[in-house]
Amino acid sequence: MNIWLRGVRGSSPTPLTPEAVKSKIAAVIQRAKPSDLSSPESRELFLSRLPDYIFGTTGGNTSCIEARLCEESVVILDCGTGLRELEKSIRKRKDSVKEFHIFFSHFHYDHILGLPYFGMMYDPSVTVHFYSPYPKMEEILRGFMVRPYHPVDFDSFNATIHFHVLKGRRMKIPGGHISWIKRSHPNGSFAYKLEQNGKSFIYSTDTELRQADFNRSPANIEFFENADALVLDAQYTLGEAFEKYDWGHSSYSMAVDFAIEFGISDLYLFHHEPLYDDKKMSSIKRSARWYTHRSKGKPEVNVRLAVEGFEIIL
Ligand SMILES: [Zn+2]
Ligand SMILES: [Zn+2]
């Protein structure tokens, strides 16, 4: 399966500021020596050696994941503002996909804000399936798209829409399976696991990890053990996690501990704090990797920052 991170920011969209763009350009110029600029090859090499926080950005769109388990349909996990990037990418690829399976972790703004602007919703040849364990999903989505909050209401969507309230723990989807588990978060939240051909990908945003989540209970083991990739809420530093107890998010160190506990090979720190710029994000990644290395005698986790546009192939 192919997975793309379309929106990785938490809470509110966080565009790159003009000051940030200027400071990135200034930092590049400061580092360049005349020999770096002498040929196309040297320029290429120079750029490839720049730190990610200078020659790149973590991304400012809110939660949205695109997964392809088959040719005919797209699975979407949350509809934050990253949904527009997802649509742009589909149109750029001239992909003629007409079926979308959209799963919601929960309905806080940062996870639904992209939906009114998702062009596929206005295409009568498209079919959209919405899924959530929350029985009030349809009411919530309809209530969110009303005047004066938005110029047109939910019935303006021309796509064929089906609502599915999830029951049980697991279901089949085109190309594979999906399962879900409840997480600790204000108003609740669900993590999802996609499985195909023995590979598994878990999306666990807006999760405040608690002691019970580390218990090796049958439910935790069945869901998390030996997953190939885990996108996990790591909005806070450890200090902030103490200060913001009960705000519904986790620290990067708890995320690392959790991935180690369940033998997860690749961890993507996700739902980035909107106040943090690329340099701060890069320092969080370094600290998380240092923290992983010092967890001696335990299986090592490959820790990455979730970066907008990144593709995970499983
Ligand atoms: Zn959120
Ligand atoms: Zn939330």
Spell out the per-residue pLDDT of the chain, length 314, in tens. Answer: 999 999 999 999 999 999 999 999 999 999 999 999 999 999 999 999 999 999 999 999 999 999 999 999 999 999 999 999 999 999 998 888 999 999 999 999 999 999 999 999 999 999 999 999 999 999 999 999 999 999 999 999 999 999 999 999 999 999 999 999 999 999 999 999 999 999 999 999 999 999 999 999 999 999 999 999 999 999 888 777 777 777 788 889 999 999 999 999 999 999 999 999 999 999 999 999 999 988 765 667 999 999 999 999 99
Q: Is residue 165 included in any domain, yes or no?
A: yes
Q: Is residue 153 included in any domain, yes or no?
A: yes
Q: Is residue 42 included in any domain, yes or no?
A: no
Q: Is residue 9 included in any domain, yes or no?
A: yes
If one counts the domains in the chain, the total is 1
Q: Is residue 267 included in any domain, yes or no?
A: yes
10 CA → ligand 1 middle, Å = 5
One-letter amino acid at 147 equals R
124 CA → ligand 2 middle, Å = 31
> Beta strands of the chain (E only): which ranges?
2-7, 64-68, 73-77, 99-103, 127-132, 160-165, 170-173, 176-183, 189-196, 199-204, 229-233, 266-270, 302-305, 311-313
Q: Is residue 118 included in any domain, yes or no?
A: yes
207 CA → ligand 2 middle, Å = 8
270 CA → ligand 2 middle, Å = 13
- Residue 110: Cβ-neighbour burial (10 angstroms; 0-12, 13-18, 19+): buried
For residue 71, the domain's CATH number is 3.60.15.10
Q: Is residue 41 included in any domain, yes or no?
A: no
205 CA → ligand 2 middle, Å = 8
What's the predicted TM-score (pTM) here? 0.95
112 CA → ligand 1 middle, Å = 10
The 10 Å CB-count burial string (b at 16+, else e) for 143-168 is: ebbeeeeeeeebeebebebeeeebee
Q: Is residue 254 included in any domain, yes or no?
A: yes
256 CA → ligand 1 middle, Å = 19
Domain that holds residue 146: 2-15+55-313
